[in-house]
C-alpha cells in the first residue's frame, strides 16, 4: 500500500522539540524537591509536544512516574515507555470505561475521584486476589474531582474501609492546587492545611500536592511526590519572575511572500489594521488552525505578538487567518526578507509565556494547541534528530 502520509518536506510549519532541555528541566525540578520524588505530567499529548517523544526522554532522565488525563493517553504512554513506570490516569475511572480492558491491560492506575468510582474499582478486586494499585484524589478546594474534604471523614473512611478489606493497595494520595502560580493567594496555605488533615485519615501511599508552580511556593509543600507538567515543557512556573526553566519548543513557519502595501490600505479580514505608512509585509504560512491564537495579531490600536524574521522582532498585524498570518517587516533592511525564509514564533527569544501574554491567553493554551500540520522533529541530548 502506498504511504498516505505527506512528505515532511511538504510542511510549512516546523516544530522542533529539544529533548535535552526537557530532560534538563525534569532534572532541575527533581533536584529542587529532593528527597521528594519528581513525576511528569504528560497529558494532552505531553502538552502538545508529543507523548511518544517526551515520555521516553523523561524516563531516560530518571522519571519513573507519569500522569495522563485519559486511559487512551495512558495506553499510548505505556506503548512508548514499556513495562515498569507507573502511569496514573488523573481524570479517574470513566463511567463508560471497561476497567479491565482500559486500565488493567495497559497497567494504568486510575486516580479515584468519587465514591462511585471507588465502588466500581474495588469491585474489580475479587476475593483472594492481590489488592489493586489505587490512587486517591482528595478535593481540597478545586471542587472538580476528588473525594470531598467537606463530606469530611466519611468519604475518606470509605476508601480506607476498602483498603483495609484488602481490596485496594493505596499507593498515592493526592490533591491539586487552585492557584499555585499566585504565591500570595491564601488558598495555597488553606489547601496545604486541608490536605494535611486528610492525610491523617489516609496515611497510606505517597502524598502529592504540587504541580509546576506548587514546586516554587514558599511553603515548599513537596511531600513525597511532585507532579509538574507546564514547567517541564519550558513554561514559566513563576509568572512575573524570570523563568527558571529552559525552552523546549521552537516553532518556525515559512514566509510565502514579501509584499508592499500603500499607506491607507488595510490588511486581512475585517480590515482591522490599516497601514499608516507605505509598509512591507511578510505573509507567513501559519494560522489559527495551527494553534496561533486569533488574538495574537495587532490592529490599529494594539501591537500584536512578535515573530523573529532575519534576526529581528517584527509585530504581527491584521486578523490571523486560518492558514496565514502577516508580519510587519517595514523596519528591516530592504531585501532582508525573501520567500522561503522562515519566521520564528517560539524559541529562545520568544517564549511560550510571551506569545501567550501578547495574545491574551494562557501558555498552557499555546502549548496544547500546537497544530497537527507541523513537521515535528525531536532533537536528542546528543544532537540526534528524529522525526516525531
Please list, in sequence order, all residues whose beta carbon lies within 8 angstroms of the beta carbon of residue 253, skipping any fewer than 6 positions away.
12, 13, 14, 284, 285, 286, 290, 342, 343, 345
228 is a contact residue toward ligand PLP (CB under 6 A) = yes
Is 220 marked active-site? no
Query: Does residue 259 contact residue 283 with C-beta atoms inside 8 Å?
Result: yes
Q: Which of residues 308-367 bind ligand PLP (CB under 6 A)?
A: none
Q: What is the dihedral angle through the alpha carbons of 3, 8, 11, 14, rounded to the nearest 10 degrees?
A: 140
Q: Which is nearer to ligand PLP, 221 or 228 (CB)?
A: 228
230 is a contact residue toward ligand PLP (CB under 6 A) = yes
Among the listed ranges 189-197, 229-237, 239-247, 311-319, the one in contact with ligand PLP (CB under 6 A) is 229-237
C-alpha grid cell, residue 25: 528541566
Give Dmax (Cα) for the chain: 81
Measured in whole angstroms, the distance separating CA 155 from the mean position of its chain's CA atoms is 31
Which residue is closest to ligand PLP by CB?
229
Among 229, 247, 304, 318, binds ligand PLP (CB under 6 A): 229
Query: Does residue 288 contact residue 295 with C-beta atoms inside 8 Å?
Result: no
C-alpha grid cell, residue 286: 501559519
Q: In what helix (H) or strand (E) does residue 363 lie, and over which residues does it extend?
A: helix 363-368
Q: Which is nearer to ligand PLP, 192 or 261 (CB)?
A: 192
Q: Which is nearer to ligand PLP, 228 or 291 (CB)?
A: 228
Is 269 marked active-site? yes
Query: Does residue 138 contact residue 112 with C-beta atoms inside 8 Å?
Result: no
User: How far is it, in rounded angstroms, from Cα 318 to Cα 2?
Assistant: 41
Q: Which of residues 251-290 bind ligand PLP (CB under 6 A)?
A: none
41 is a contact residue toward ligand PLP (CB under 6 A) = yes
176 is a contact residue toward ligand PLP (CB under 6 A) = yes
90 is a contact residue toward ligand PLP (CB under 6 A) = yes
Q: Which is nearer to ligand PLP, 188 or 212 (CB)?
A: 212
DSSP letter at 201 equals: H
227 is a contact residue toward ligand PLP (CB under 6 A) = yes
109 is a contact residue toward ligand PLP (CB under 6 A) = no
Go through 198-213 and write b for each residue having 16 or more CB atoms within 10 A of its CB, e for each that does not.
bbebbebbbbbbbbbb
212 is a contact residue toward ligand PLP (CB under 6 A) = yes
Report the nearest approach of ligand PLP to the CB of residue 291 (Å): 17
Among the listed ranges 163-171, 226-234, 265-273, 331-339, the one in contact with ligand PLP (CB under 6 A) is 226-234
Active site residues: 43, 269
Amino acid at each position: 500500500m502506498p504511504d498516505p502520509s505527506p512528505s515532511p518536506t511538504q510542511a510549512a510549519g516546523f516544530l522542533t522539540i529539544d529533548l535535552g532541555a526537557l530532560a534538563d528541566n525534569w532534572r532541575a525540578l527533581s533536584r529542587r524537591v529532593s528527597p521528594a520524588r519528581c513525576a511528569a505530567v504528560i497529558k494532552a499529548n505531553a502538552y502538545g509536544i508529543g507523548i511518544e517523544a517526551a515520555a521516553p526522554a523523561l524516563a531516560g532522565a530518571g522519571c519513573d512516574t507519569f500522569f495522563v488525563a485519559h486511559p487512551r493517553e495512558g495506553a499510548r504512554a505505556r506503548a512508548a515507555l514499556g513495562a515498569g513506570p507507573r502511569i496514573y490516569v488523573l481524570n479517574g475511572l470513566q463511567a463508560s470505561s471497561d476497567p479491565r480492558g482500559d486500565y488493567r491491560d495497559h497497567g494504568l492506575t486510575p486516580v479515584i475521584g468519587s465514591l462511585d468510582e471507588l465502588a466500581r474499582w474495588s469491585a474489580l478486586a475479587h476475593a483472594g486476589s492481590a489488592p489493586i494499585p489505587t490512587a486517591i484524589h482528595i478535593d481540597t478546594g478545586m471542587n472538580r474531582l476528588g473525594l470531598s474534604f467537606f463530606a469530611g471523614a466519611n468519604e475518606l473512611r470509605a476508601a480506607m474501609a476498602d483498603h483495609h478489606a484488602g481490596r485496594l493497595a493505596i499507593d498515592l494520595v493526592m490533591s491539586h492546587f487552585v492557584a499555585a502560580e499566585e504565591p500570595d493567594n491564601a488558598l495555597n496555605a488553606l489547601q496545604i492545611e486541608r490536605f494535611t488533615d486528610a492525610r491523617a485519615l489516609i496515611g497510606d501511599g505517597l502524598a502529592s500536592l504540587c504541580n509546576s508552580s506548587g514546586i516554587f511556593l514558599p511553603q515548599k509543600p513537596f511531600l513525597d511526590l511532585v507532579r509538574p507538567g507546564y514547567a517541564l515543557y519550558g513554561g514559566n512556573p513563576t509568572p512575573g519572575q524570570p523563568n527558571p526553566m529552559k525552552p523546549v519548543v521552537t516553532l518556525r513557519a515559512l514566509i510565502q511572500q514579501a509584499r508592499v502595501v500603500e499607506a491607507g490600505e488595510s490588511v486581512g479580514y475585517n480590515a482591522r489594521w490599516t497601514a499608516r505608512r507605505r509598509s512591507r509585509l511578510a505573509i507567513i504560512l501559519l494560522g489559527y488552525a495551527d494553534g496561533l491564537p486569533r488574538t495574537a495579531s495587532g490592529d490599529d490600536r494594539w501591537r500584536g505578538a512578535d515573530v523573529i524574521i532575519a534576526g529581528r522582532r517584527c509585530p504581527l498585524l491584521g486578523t490571523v487567518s486560518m492558514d496565514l498570518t502577516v508580519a510587519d517587516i517595514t523596519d528591516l533592511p530592504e531585501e532582508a526578507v525573501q520567500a522561503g525564509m522562515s519566521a520564528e514564533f517560539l524559541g529562545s527569544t520568544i517564549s511560550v509565556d510571551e506569545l501567550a501574554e501578547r495574545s491574551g491567553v494562557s501558555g498552557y493554551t499555546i502549548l496544547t494547541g500546537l497544530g497537527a500540520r507541523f513537521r515535528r522533529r525531536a532533537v536528542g541530548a546528543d544532537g540526534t534528530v528524529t522525526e516525531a
